[in-house]
Amino acid sequence: MRLPRASGILLHPTSLPSRFGIGDLGPEAHAFIDFLAETGQRWWQILPVGPTGYGNSPYQSYSSYAGNPWLISPERLAEDGWLEPADWHDLAALPAGHVDFDVVGVTKERLLRSAFARFHPERLGFEAFLGENAHWLDDYALYMALKDAHKGAAWYDWEPELAVRKSVALERQRAKLAESIRYYQFVQYAFDRQWRALREACQAREVHLIGDLPIFVAQDSADVWARPDLFLLDAHGRPTAVAGVPPDYFSEDGQLWGNPLYDWKAHAAENFAWWIARMKATTDRVDLVRLDHFRGFEAFWEVPADAPTAATGRWALGPGTAFLEALREGLGGLPLIAEDLGDITAEVEALRDRFDLPGMRVLQFAFGTESESEHHMPHRFVNHCIVYTGTHDNDTTVGWFTAQDVSTVQSGEDLRAERRFALRYLGTSGAEIHWDMIRLAMVSVADTAIVPLQDVLGLDGTARMNVPGRARGNWGWRFTPDQLNARTRDRLADMTAAYSRWNGEAPEQYRRVRKRAAASTAPTAEPTAKTD
């Protein structure tokens, strides 16, 4: 798969402005699509959009299929007639620059319950939605209703007949919890309607979505509860080994993710049907998918379930070629980006290249001493890759360049040496390091350049989205409307056009050579838009 020369912005919808304390799929999301189109961006990259569980992480979801209820816009629900502005007129003031997840959860739950009370199931294709999505929604809605009935307890702590899905016990609970099940079906229906409207708005402005598919699923999820036979679990539904990564840039003990590992033999026996269905659901929502932790499909880090850290794990072989061949056949192609960061071997690169998948390059990793790394140096990049100034796991560019604390396994002197070399390489003073790095991404030979919005705005480390290994305090950053001002928009648009990344034909004010006014006899073209 080859991509056109283009650029885009990384921003999770929860980071959008909103009066409800968290970004959602309402008016501000549609305004952001307009911003992307007006600045020439082809791509809007997001994180996983499933309902979040432990730590509010998009990578620890209750379902591979369901949408996050907190992304549902109350304004859009009002347009459907299921809410009224009066329903939120007494809403307490919520933080504008970050998400208070505890408060947001209560607020959105109250509004969604009010909308459900006004909802008439016979309207607007609800029954058709249930039929089309029964293969996952029936289990998910029952799972969520049972979690409520058990005060949030994980499924493996329910009564044994429910944990192991005895059919008689499940049918009894379906009847008993019918209203709660219907509520969770309604929530997913509302999410689906709003997501489809977002996709239509993107298509109208020729903006494309890059989604994100986590390699692993959460232990406490409808996915594992419904198909425990596809995971390495003991007789009580608990993992015998868990996922993680060995000691790396972010942690000297590695990262202990804790997700259950797949029984790849069981998946192969079904020709990876579970994975194909999961991937189809994702590609129904987005145009391109970042396949998280790609190296885990060649070999994954297996950690004993009782290990205190990931350092004691070992490499185990993944499904490799057979998996990707099955995906390609099942999907009719591979609209994927290989997230090939971390401990990448020749075998991982060979698997990526065999299926012609673009990999990732991160500029914050470009100035270290590992001269053989594909991330070192930008002049070694290939066309067929995605270049990022940083990812959701990195500090912001300004934070990376200015922070006094070292939140990685690097020494302070190593990081200072990287910064010094970055300035030498860039040929700048670093006074606007974020624009220097954006320019480096844009001018590179990489087919696609993606920039986190925090870097466009020049924000410091307080705007960081995630610190790997930190249990709480992640995923909450939001921007405010005043930060995305006309000067910033114009500067991004001008740079996008200057380096031939504009999505389509650039407007005249951003073209490399502008048309002279009819009355002018000047031999030179007008200058491009002012950028400083």
By percentage, how much of the chain surpasses pLDDT 70? Answer: 94
Q: In sequence order, what are the residues at sequence separation of 6 or more whose Cβ sits closer than 8 angstroms to the Cβ of residue 488?
A: 456, 457
292, 298, 340, 436: the catalytic one is 292
Instruction: Give, in degrees to the nearest 5, the angle at Cα 252 between 251 and 258.
Output: 60
C-alpha 528/C-alpha 498 separation (Å) is: 9
DSSP secondary structure letter of residue 462:
G
Tell how strand 299-304 and strand 241-245 pair up. Answer: antiparallel
28, 212, 248, 339: the catalytic one is 339
User: What confidence tens digit (pLDDT) does each residue in 424-483 have?
Assistant: 999 999 999 999 999 999 999 999 999 999 999 999 999 999 998 788 899 999 999 999
Contact 216, 58 (CB under 8 A): no
Decide which of 60 and 529 is more confident: 60
Tell me the average pLDDT across 86-101: 91
Give the pLDDT confidence score for residue 42 in this predicted structure.
98
393, 414, 460, 526: the catalytic one is 393
Give the pLDDT confidence score for residue 370 in this predicted structure.
64
Torsion of CA 171, 176, 179, 181, to 10 degrees: -40
Give the pLDDT confidence score for residue 528 in this predicted structure.
43
Tell me the average pLDDT across 284-288: 98
Whether residue 516 is predicted with pLDDT greater than 80 in this model: the reply is no
One-letter amino acid of 244: G
One-letter amino acid of 179: E
Q: What residues form DSSP beta bridges with 256?
A: 244
Query: Band of the pLDDT at 19, cuts 50, 70, 90?
Result: very high
3 state DSSP class of 220:
coil
* Known catalytic membership, residue 284: no
Give the pLDDT confidence score for residue 409 in this predicted structure.
56
Give the pLDDT confidence score for residue 513 in this predicted structure.
63
User: What confidence tens digit (pLDDT) does each residue in 156-204 have?
Assistant: 999 999 999 999 999 999 999 999 999 999 999 999 999 999 999 999 9
By percentage, how much of the chain surpasses pLDDT 90? Answer: 84
Determine which of 198-212, 317-331, 374-388 has the lowest per-residue pLDDT on average: 374-388
Least Cα distance to 222 among 342, 329, 138 occurs for: 138
* Known catalytic membership, residue 436: no
* Known catalytic membership, residue 223: no
Tell me the average pLDDT across 92-120: 94
Q: Which two tokens stand for residue 392?
A: 């959701």
Give the pLDDT confidence score for residue 326 in this predicted structure.
98
Q: Which two tokens stand for residue 234?
A: 């003991």
Using only C-alpha atoms, what is the Rg of the chain?
24
Give the pLDDT confidence score for residue 92 in this predicted structure.
82
Contact 402, 460 (CB under 8 A): yes
C-alpha 449/C-alpha 435 separation (Å) is: 13
C-alpha 441/C-alpha 459 separation (Å) is: 18
Q: Which two tokens stand for residue 227?
A: 């198909």
User: What confidence tens digit (pLDDT) does each residue in 384-400 have?
Assistant: 999 999 999 999 999 99
Give the pLDDT confidence score for residue 372 in this predicted structure.
59
Determine which of 20-29, 63-72, 245-254, 500-509 has the lowest per-residue pLDDT on average: 245-254
Give the pLDDT confidence score for residue 93 in this predicted structure.
85
Tell how strand 448-452 and strand 385-388 pair up. Answer: parallel
- Model-level pTM greater than 0.85? yes
